[in-house]
Every structure is written in C-alpha cells, then in structure tokens.
Amino acid sequence: MNWIASIDQHPEARTRRIDVGRALAVVVTVGLALVITLSLVLGVAVGTGIAPEFDQSIALHAQHRLVFHNGPSPTCVIIPNPPQHDCFRPGPERREFSVVYLTPNGVRSLVWFRLPTR
C-alpha cells in the first residue's frame, strides 16, 4: 500500500519509469537494426570480393578459439613417394569464407562458403 501511495503523491515517478522503458526499447531496436545492416553489408562485400583477405582468431577461452577466414583456400595433397605434404593453388585462385570453432577435442565448421573467383 505504501508503494501505491508514493505513486499517487509523485505522479511524475510513473512517467519517468515509462520513459526509461521506451528509451530501452529504442536502444535495443536501433542496435538490432545496426547489427542486421552491418551483417548485410559485410555479406555483400565478402560475396563480391570487395572485402580484403583476412584471418582473424578470437580467443573465447584458454583452449577455445573462433577463427574467421576470408581469402584463398590452398589445395593440399599427400604425395606418397617420397612422403611429403604439399599445398598448392592450381589454376584460378579459389576463395572461401569460413567461421571455424577450434577446441582441444576437434574442429567444427560453423559457416563455410565458396566464393566466386575474382
């Protein structure tokens, strides 16, 4: 009952609470719109080849990493005689965009796109 009485005595307290709620809704809406817009712009830039090549690694935990890759993907083969591991890029450069999650237990590919040649 005291809480209701305090609102009756101070009606501007109720309007302030509503204004904070509206401000929070506006901030969340603008933030979501920015995230969607930037995602679309990045997708178009990567897809058309405008974005530069990059390899970015983000440490999530001591042994967990998130790796973003945009650029050429080498073709690797194992040659049995003499035993060797060789990576090369035959023909036109094949490009890819990928997001990979690295853990001590293995590697998970979260996103992988083959991009058109330049």
Residues 61 and 112 in one domain: yes
* Confidence (pTM): 0.59
Q: Do 56 and 16 belong together in one domain?
A: no
Domain boundary among 29, 51, 73: 51
Query: By the 8 A CB rule, do 101 and 110 touch?
Result: yes
- 2-57, pLDDT tens digit by residue? 555 555 566 565 555 567 888 899 999 999 999 999 999 988 888 888 888 888 88
CA distances from 96 to 1, 5, 47, 99, 116 (A): 64, 64, 9, 10, 8
Q: How many domains does the chain have?
A: 2
pLDDT of 86: 62
46 and 58, same structural domain?
no
69: domain range?
52-118
What is the pLDDT, as a whole number, of residue 76? Answer: 65
Closest by Cα among 76, 64, 77 to 105? 64
Do both 23 and 60 map to the same domain? no
At residue 18, the pLDDT reads 60
If DSSP codes are grouped into helix, strand and coil, which group holds residue 35? helix
Higher pLDDT, 93 or 86: 93
75-79 and 84-88 as β-strands: parallel, antiparallel, unpaired? Answer: antiparallel
Q: Kindly state whether residues 66 and 89 are assigned to the same domain.
A: yes
Question: 88 with 109, same domain?
Answer: yes
Helix (H, G, I), strand (E, B) or coil at 107: strand
Say whether both 75 and 117 belong to one domain. Answer: yes
**How does pLDDT run across 42-91, given as a tens digit for each residue?**
888 888 888 888 888 899 888 899 989 888 876 666 666 666 656 665 56
For residues 38 and 60, state if they share a domain: no
Number of residues that make up the chain: 118
Q: Report the interhelical angle of 2-9 vs 11-48 (nearest 10°).
A: 90
Q: What is the pLDDT of residue 2?
A: 54
Instruction: Look at residues 18, 36, 51 and tell me which one is the last residue of a structural domain.
Output: 51
**Is the domain of 47 the same as that of 60?**
no
Nearest to 69 by CA among 54, 48, 80: 54
